[in-house]
A and B are shown apart, each in its own frame.
Chain A
Amino acid sequence: MDWELIVCFEVHVELATATKLFCGCRIGTGLAANSLICPICTGQPGTLPTLNKKAVELAVRAGMALNCSINEVSRFARKNYFYPDLPKGYQISQYETPFCENGFLEIEGDGGLMRKIGIRRIHLEEDAGKLVHSSGSLEGSENSFVDFNRSGVPLLEIVADHNREPISSTTEARRYLERLRQVLIDIGISECAIEKGQFRCDVNVSVRRNGEKAFRPRTEIKNIGSFRFINEAIEYEKQRQIELAIKGAPCFQETRLFDEARRITIPMRGKENAPDYRYFPDPDLVEVTLGNDFLDSVRRNMPDLIQGRLSELTCDYGLSEDDAGLIAKDRRLFEYFVRASARIVNRKKLAGWITRDLFSLLKTAALDISASPVSPEKLSELVSLMEHGELTETMGRAVLKEMFQTSRAATEIIEKKSMTPITDIEALISVVQKVIAQNPDAVDTVRSGKKETINFLVGQAMRLTSGRADAREVRDILIKIIFP
C-alpha cells in the first residue's frame, strides 16, 4: 500500500525595511544589546503602535509576486501569550483579514510537470526580542537577559494551503523553499539570509493512503535550522507517521521539535496543550484600506523578476539570449512559454514560434499574451507535430494563423483541410519542373550567380502546393536541376 505525503510550510521572512513595524527604531544586527530600542518596542506603559507603510508595501508586493488576491481592507490582531521576549504580552499580528490570500507558487513537480503549490495567506506581524541565557536554556540558567533589538522587526508569514496542490515529496519541498526564497530576494523584500534568521520555517507534515480523501492528523515541526534538516525532518516524520498508521496506533495532532543531534523529531506539546492565543482585533490600530492608487504604485515599484526568469530560460531551457530576453520580459509570457514547453524537445524552436509567429499575430490583432486565442497547450501541440515531421513549417504557419482566428486545435484544422505534406519525391520533382518552366528569367539569374533568387523559386513551388511541400526538399531539387 502506498502512502501520500502532505507538506505545508509556514515561512517567516524578515522584511528589509529601514525601521521597525510599529516604531521608528532602525533595524540592524550585530549591534550591542538593546541599542535599537524605544518606549514603543519595549512595551512601555502608554505607548501606541503606528504602522510602517513601507512594510505594508513589501507585504503586498510579496502577495502580488505569489499570485495572491490582496484584501482591500485588512486588520491587525493581538495574539496574546506570555514570554519574556514579548514585551507587551501580546504580539501584533493578523488573524481574520491578512493582507494577502489564495495565491500559489509554481514549481516543477516530481512528474516533470509544473505544479502550482497553493498559498493560503500572507500576513504581517512583529518579531519578538531575543533571550540570552547564562547557560543552555531559560529554565536551566542562573540569569537570562532580554535583547529587544529584534523586537518589532517586521515579519511576513507565508502559509501554504494543504487543500490546494500541497507539496508531496521532499524534493518538491526543497524546490518550493528554494523557489520561494529566490522570488522574495528577486522582488527585493528581504535578503532571506538563513543564517541571520531572515528566512525561518515551520513545517506541517501528514500522510494518507493513496486515494484517501480525508486528512489524517498533522504534526507541526518548529524552527528548523537549515534546508538540509528540513528534508530530514520531513522524511523522519513521514516514516514515523506511516509506521504508526500501519501499527494502527493513533497519530496525534501535536507540535514537535527536530533534534539536530539525533536527527529525529521529538514531541513539544500536544493539541490539548496548544495555547489559546485569544486573538482579537487590535483596538490601537485602525483598519488598513488599500486603495487602487496604492496597489498601482506597489505594482509599478515591483522590481522585475526578469533576472530570475532570464537565467532559467537560458540555463534550464537552453534558449538563446535574444529569445530568452524577449520571453523573460513579461511574467505572463514566461509562464506561457513554460506551459507550452512541456512536451517539446526542441525548445529553441518553440521560442522562435512564440517570438516571431505568435508575436506578429498578437501584434496585428492588438492582443495581449494573456488574451491569446492560441493556448500554450495548443501551440505546444502544433510545434510537436512539426517536430515529428507531420507538418511542414510553411503549413504550420498557415495552421497557426487559422488557429489564431478560430481558436481550434491544430489537428482539427489539418484534418479538415487535408493538409498532409507531399512526401512523394516524383510529385515534388514535377512541381519543381513546372516552376522552372514558368520562370525562365529567374532561373537564368540563379545560374548567373545570384543564388538568393532561388528563394523566389522555392516560394513559387510552395504556392503551387499550398505549402504542402517541404521547402528544404524543394530547394535541394531545384539546385540539382539548375546546376546538374
Chain B
Amino acid sequence: MELCEITATELSRMLRKKEVSSVEITNSVLRRMEERERELNAFITVTGGIALRQAAIADRALQATKGMPSLAGIPMAIKDNICTRGIRTTCASRMLEGYVPAYDATVVRRLRKAMTVLMGKTNLDEFGMGSSTENSAFGHTRNPINKDYVAGGSSGGSAAAVAAGEAVFAIGTDTGGSIRLPAAFCGLVGMKPTYGRISRYGIVAYASSLDQVGCLTRSVEDCAMVMESLCGHDKRDSTSAPLASPQLVENLQTGVKGIKIGLPAEYFVKGLDPSIERSVMNAVSIIRSSGAEIKQISLPHTPYAVSCYYLIATAEAGSNLARYDGVKYGYRADESCKDIASMYEETRSRGFGKEVKRRIMLGTYVLSSGYYDAYYAKAQKVRTLIREDFEKAFREVDCILTPVSPTPPFKIGERIDDPLAMYLADIYTVALNLAGLPGITLPCGKADGLPLGFQIIGRAFDEATILRVGYVYEKNSGS
C-alpha cells in the first residue's frame, strides 16, 4: 500500500513513531496526483509548493515537540468554496475565476493551526449547486473507481481526491447532501455535522440556513479525528453553537449495546434501487448483531422534503449570490456595456453557469411579492413539520438509519439535461439539512463494482452516537 492510501489515523501514528515523515507522505500524494489528476480533475488549484513547505514545517515541529495536534503533517484538500487567504477560491465559477480571498475561513485557520498540509482546492458543482460535480466551470470530476461515472456532488472533487489518494482526507460542505452523496459514490466515510457545530465563516454561502462544513475520510476514526479539529464555537458566525469541540475519538470504543436505531418506512419505498436496499439491510443486520436494537419508525413528511428544500435553498441562494455583480471583484463583462444595468446583466449572464442561473431565478420568484406566502412561507412551515417528525422519532430511537442515494452512481452526462432527475438524487439527504441534524455515510458494499453507502442520522449535537454506530459497523463488516 502506498503512503497516500493509508488512513489519517495510521499515518498520524507512523509520524509520531518517526516511521515516516510528512514530506514523504506529501511526495507520495504528489506522485499520485501526477498519475491520476489529469484524468480525474478532482482539483481546481493544486498547491504542491505550499504543501511541501507545510510538510517540512510539520516534520520539524514533530521532531521538536511532543503533544502535536493529531492531524499535524497529514495532507488534505479543501473544497474550493472555502476561503483560503492568498489562494484563489473560485467556487467552480467563471464569476470567481481569479478571486483571491484576503482572509481565511475559520475552518481553514483551524486546519492551519492543526498543522495539516494543504494539497489544493477541490472541484465542485458551481457554488455547491449540483449532485454530480458536472456543473463546474473547470470541467467535471470523474469517479476514481470507474472514470465513466460521476463522483457525486457537490463535493465531488473532495471525494475523488480522497478515494484516489490525492489527499488523505478532505473538507467539504453539505447543503442538501453535498458531502454524503459523493462520499457514498466514492466509497468513503462522509459527515455533515449538526447545523451550528462548525463555523460557516469563510464558506461561500449557497443557502445559509442549510450550509454546513464537514469532512470526507477513509475511516470512521479519521472522521472523528478531523471533526474534533473542525468543531467549536466561533464568534464570527452568529449561527454557530456556543459549544466546545466534543471528544469524538475517545467515545468510539463505547459500543452500541442498548442503542435503539430507527428505520423510517418512508425511506424504503418504490424508487429505491434493490441493490441498495439489500446492502443497507445487510448493514442493519451487522449493527443489530453488535447489540443495537432495530425499530420501525415513521417520518411522515419525508415526501415533501425535496420540494421544501428547493424552495428554501433557492430563495437564500438568489439573495446570497446577488453580491456577484461585477462591481467589486470577480468577473466583469464591461466591453459592450452601455450602462450599469447592462453591466449587471451581462456580468451575471456570462459569469454564472446554467444551473446557478436556474436556481437564482427560482429563488427570486419564490420571494417575489405576491408569491412569498405560497412558496417561501409555506416551505418554512413544512420545514417545521419535518423537524418535528425527527423530534418525535428521537423520542423512540437514538439514531435513524437510511440509504444515502436511491440509486448507485450514475454515468457522466446521464442526468445533466434532466434537472429533476438530478434533484431526486438528494431525496434521502435533504431532510437532515432542513432539520439541522448530523448525518454520517458509510460504504456498504458495491454494485457492478461501484460503491454503495448508507446513512446514520443523529440527534442535534449528538455526532458521538452516530460515530459510535458507524465505528462498530466498520469493525464488524470487514471493510
Contact = CB atoms under 8 A, between A and B. Distances in A.
Interface of A: 39, 42-51, 78, 80, 82, 84, 87-90, 138-139, 146, 276, 278-280, 283-286
A284 B101 contact: no
Contacts of A47: 103, 201-202
A42 B238 contact: no
A139 B342 CA distance: 12
Nearest to A284: B208
Interface size class of B (residues with CB under 8 A): 35 or more
Given A43-B323, A48-B236, A80 B367 contact: yes
Contacts of B96: 45
A92 to B, nearest CB: 11
B369 A278 contact: yes
Contact of B325 (A39, A46, A51, A82): A82
Contacts of A138: 340
Contacts, number: 101
B316 interface: yes
A87 B238 contact: no
A87 B367 contact: no
Q: At the interface, is chain B mostly helix, strand, loop or mixed?
A: loop
B209 A283 contact: yes
A278 B375 CA distance: 13
Contact of A88 (B105, B315, B322, B369): B322
A46 B202 CA distance: 4
Interface string B259-289: 0000000000000000000000000000000
Contact of A45 (B99, B325, B344, B376): B99
A276 B322 contact: no
5 contacts: A44-B103, A45-B96, A46-B89, A90-B319, A278-B368
B124 to A, nearest CB: 14
B238 A51 contact: yes
Given A44-B102, A80-B322, A139 B236 contact: no
B209 A46 contact: no
A278 B364 contact: yes
Interface string B309-330: 0000001101101111101110
B137 interface: no
A48 B369 contact: no
A285 B208 CA distance: 10
Contacts of B319: 78, 80, 89-90, 278, 280
Contacts of A89: 319, 321-325
8 residue pairs, one from A and one from B, having the closest CB atoms: A89-B322, A283-B209, A278-B367, A283-B208, A45-B204, A46-B202, A46-B83, A43-B323
A138 B344 CA distance: 14
B392 interface: no
B328 A43 contact: yes
B358 interface: no
Contacts of B71: none
Nearest to A274: B369
Given A44-B101, A45-B96, A48-B236, A276 B369 contact: yes
B327 to A, nearest CB: 5
A284 B238 contact: yes
B239 interface: yes
Given A44-B102, A48-B236, A139-B339, A82 B367 contact: no
B200 interface: yes
Nearest to B99: A45
A280 B372 CA distance: 9
A39 B328 contact: no
Nearest to A285: B238
B205 interface: yes
A48 B239 CA distance: 10
A283 B379 CA distance: 14
B196 to A, nearest CB: 10
B235 interface: yes
A279 B371 CA distance: 12
Contact of A39 (B103, B324, B372): B103
Contacts of B444: none
Contact of B201 (A48, A87, A88): A48
